[in-house]
Amino acid sequence: MAGIRMRRSEEVRDVAEAVFDTHRTAVLEVVPGAEVEHVGATAVPGALTKGDVDLVVRVSESDFPAAVEALGTRYAVHQPHNWTPTLASFKARDAADLEVGVQLVVEGSDADGFFVPFRDALISSPALLAEYNQLKERLDGRDYERYTERKGKFIERVLAELHARPH
């Protein structure tokens, strides 16, 4: 398997925004009333990205099972080993421009405290974004498993630090 290749989010910004808009519309067609946000590196100015677009879809706990079913009609199941009662992952079947990942979460759950807070932390802290980019530069060309493992540890650390801060 070829290694992950990094590029600046600005290189794909316009395409990423168009892809997000298209998939936001598609998600809302099958899960009306959901909250859909652009997360991941393509949503962060100055971030390095492997060139995919990530969406987080937030629904109530009672709407989660129907949303899983509805998204399954439009998207392929992705990473089922990571699924929980409050998180389900999907991938676009027709990723013509950029790959698309869709993370369905229950509002207010632990899974919900992951994607948007991490994106916002990167946007609000140039030092944190620089550290994240340095990690991604070190992972450039590496295999997907190593990439996801190292990136995951970084994200967990950042989220732990965010939760440890007094509010």
| Residue ranges of the chain with per-residue pLDDT less than 70 | 1-2, 95, 166-167
For residue 3, what pLDDT is reported? 80
Assessment of whether the complete model's pTM goes beyond 0.75: yes
For residue 95, what pLDDT is reported? 66
Chain mean position to CA 81? 17
Residue count of the chain, please give it.
167
Where are the domains positioned within the chain? 7-164
Angstrom CA distances, 108 to 15, 49, 71, 82, 114, stand at 31, 27, 20, 18, 10
For residue 81, which amino acid is it?
Answer: H
Choices 3.30.530.20, 3.30.460.10, 3.40.190.10, 3.40.50.10800: CATH for 7-164:
3.30.460.10
For residue 158, what pLDDT is reported? 94
DSSP for 30-59 reads HSTT-EEEEESGGGSTT-EE-SEEEEEEEE
For residue range 57-98, what is the model confidence (pLDDT) as tens digits? Answer: 999 999 999 999 999 999 999 999 999 999 999 999 876 778
